[in-house]
Each structure stands twice: as structure tokens, then as C-alpha cells.
């Protein structure tokens, strides 16, 4: 008679029931036990894969690309808002002389005060307290008010540019460590975006300079606060030629920075292959580290 292995149970009526189990000689089958250490490594591996490639890295690339034009334009404007640029303007051939009596030395002195005021932390008296040779205030109250508005706009713009620069650098540091080729792609996209914007604004400025100049001022300053007579000090120090030259210089600086960035980040075949190879190597090292 064949023997049946099992577990016998007795109910309340005395009847026995055999609950069949494994046959003789077979090992007991137990439910699979979850290996916690293996599960932890698998979770870390999946998390690392998601972190390295698609979402966060792409987000940082978009951040750097969007911040790039703001930082470049802010740096170019800061370069123009200096006494050195003013000296070049006043000494370049063809720059209009002041028809109301300011000498070149007067213009450099008073113009430097005006430019220094918009980038320093001095109060309005820095300009309002200046007097001419006749003892009268050199700048009208309306001129000082406008320069104060300019100071606030530039100060905010430079602060935003600095913050975005710091954030972009931090993003690039993370991309360089976690995602090979991410910095190059981000800078290339930012340079393309900057170039497109510069071309559009440049065409608008060339085609209709006066309207472009008016619209830019209308965006940042209230109506009636930035128009003056031709014999007011601000117009004598900064004639229209100064502003057109400033816009041209800012545009050229932006184009030069953009062109250099495009040159250094252009997605050549060799650069793409190096990025892919580096990503594969990083992935292999990470998996080996988890395996250990």
C-alpha cells in the first residue's frame, strides 16, 4: 500500500482528514522570502537611472538654456555702463560735440558721475548736489528722478543676472558630475536661443531705431519721465548717438559671447560619441558599485 505523507487532523466528530503535503524525499516548498538587501540595491539602481538620464538632467538643461541669454545681456549692459566706455565714445571720431558749451573734460567729469550713480549705492544727492560753473544745480530734479529710475531698473537687472548666473553654474556642476554632455547641450541651446533673440531685436532696432528706443523706455519707465529738452544736462552728456552706439556695442558683445559658446559647444560627432561613451562608463561603474 502506497504511503501518503501529510498532516492528519481530527474534527469534532472524530473523523480524520489528511492534508496532503510533499511526498517522501522531497524538500519542503516554502514561500519565497524577499531579500531586503537585493531589493534595496534594485531600488537604488532604478532611482539612479531615473535621476541620471531623463527628467532632472533635462530640467537642468532647460534652466541653463533659459538663464544664458539673461546673464549674457546683463554682462554686456554692465560693460557699457562704465566710464571707460564713455571715454571711448567721447574720443571716437564723429561723436557730436556739445553745442551749449561743455568741454570734453566737462563731459567726462559729469558723465562719469551720472554713470557711476546708476551702478553704485549712493542716494540721489550724488547727482542732485552737483553744481555747474554758474553755481546752479547741474541736473534738474526731473533728471535726477529719471536717473534714479534707471538705477533701480539696472540694479534689479544686474541682481537677477547674478542670481541666475550662480544658479546656472550650480546646475552645470551637477550636470557635469551626473550627466556627461549635459553642460554642452545646455549651453548650445542657450546660445541658439540668445542668437535668435539678438537677431530679432537687432533687425527691429535697425529698421526703426526711434520706435525701438521709445518702446524700450516705455516698458521700463512711466510716460513723461524720460523726455528732456536738448539743452538739459542729460541730453548734452548722452546724445542719441551715445545710445545707438551703446545698443550696437551690447549687441556685438552678445553676438561674440554667443558665437564663442556655439563654437565650443557645437554637437560634433566626436563630442557626441565621447558623451555617450562617458555615460556608459558612468552607468557601468555605478552598477558595479551597487553589486559590491
Supply the mean pLDDT for the chain.
83
Whether the predicted pLDDT of 272 surpasses 80:
no
Whether the predicted pLDDT of 291 surpasses 60:
no
Band the pLDDT of 286: cuts 50, 70, 90: low
74, HSE (Cβ side, Cα atoms, 13 Å): 19
Whether the predicted pLDDT of 199 surpasses 90:
yes
Q: What distances in angstroms separate CA 170 from CA 59, 177, 183, one per listed residue?
A: 13, 11, 11
pLDDT for residue 181: 83
Band the pLDDT of 24: cuts 50, 70, 90: very low
pLDDT for residue 282: 57
- Residues 244 and 250: their CA atoms lie apart, in Å, by 10
Domain ranges of the chain: 55-275
The more confidently predicted of residues 43 and 245 is 245
Band the pLDDT of 51: cuts 50, 70, 90: very low
pLDDT for residue 43: 58
29-62 burial, b if ≥16 CB within 10 A, otherwise e?
eeeeeeeeeeeebeeeeeebeeebeeeebeebbe
Query: Grid coordinates standing for 288?
Result: 558595479
The more confidently predicted of residues 143 and 269 is 143
**DSSP summary character for residue 124:** T
**DSSP summary character for residue 15:** -
Among the residue ranges 162-176, 222-236, 269-283, the one predicted with the least confidence is 269-283
Q: Is 149 exposed, middle or buried (0-12, 13-18, 19+ CB in 10 A)?
A: middle
Lookup result for grid cell 554758474? 134
- Residues 90 and 88: their CA atoms lie apart, in Å, by 6
pLDDT for residue 224: 87
- Residues 223 and 130: their CA atoms lie apart, in Å, by 26
Amino acid at each position: 500500500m502506497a504511503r501518503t505523507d501529510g498532516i492528519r487532523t481530527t474534527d469534532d466528530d472524530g473523523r480524520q482528514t489528511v492534508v496532503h503535503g510533499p511526498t517522501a524525499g522531497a524538500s519542503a516548498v516554502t514561500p519565497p522570502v524577499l531579500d531586503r538587501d537585493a531589493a534595496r540595491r534594485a531600488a537604488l539602481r532604478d532611482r539612479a537611472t531615473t535621476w541620471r538620464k531623463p527628467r532632472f538632467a533635462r530640467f537642468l538643461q532647460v534652466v541653463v538654456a533659459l538663464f544664458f541669454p539673461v546673464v549674457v545681456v546683463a554682462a554686456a549692459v554692465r560693460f557699457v555702463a562704465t566710464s571707460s566706455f564713455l571715454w571711448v565714445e567721447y574720443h571716437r571720431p564723429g561723436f557730436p560735440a556739445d553745442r551749449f558749451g561743455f568741454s570734453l573734460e566737462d563731459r567726462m567729469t559729469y558723465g562719469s558721475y551720472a554713470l557711476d550713480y546708476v551702478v553704485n549705492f549712493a542716494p540721489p544727492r550724488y547727482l542732485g548736489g552737483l553744481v555747474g560753473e554758474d553755481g546752479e544745480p547741474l541736473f534738474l530734479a526731473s533728471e535726477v528722478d529719471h536717473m534714479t529710475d534707471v538705477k533701480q531698473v539696472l540694479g534689479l537687472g544686474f541682481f537677477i543676472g547674478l542670481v541666475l548666473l550662480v544658479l546656472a553654474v550650480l546646475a552645470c556642476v551637477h550636470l557635469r558630475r551626473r550627466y556627461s554632455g549635459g553642460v554642452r547641450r545646455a549651453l548650445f541651446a542657450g546660445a541658439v536661443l540668445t542668437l535668435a533673440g539678438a537677431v530679432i531685436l537687432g533687425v527691429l532696432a535697425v529698421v526703426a531705431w526711434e520706435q525701438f528706443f521709445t518702446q524700450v523706455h516705455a516698458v521700463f519707465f512711466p510716460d513723461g519721465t524720460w523726455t528732456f529738452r536738448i539743452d538739459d544736462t542729460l541730453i548734452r552728456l548722452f546724445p542719441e548717438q551715445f545710445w545707438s552706439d551703446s545698443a550696437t556695442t551690447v549687441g556685438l558683445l552678445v553676438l561674440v559671447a554667443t558665437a564663442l559658446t556655439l563654437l565650443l559647444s557645437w554637437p560634433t560627432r566626436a563630442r557626441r560619441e565621447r558623451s555617450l561613451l562617458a555615460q556608459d562608463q558612468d552607468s557601468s561603474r555605478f552598477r558595479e558599485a551597487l553589486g559590491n
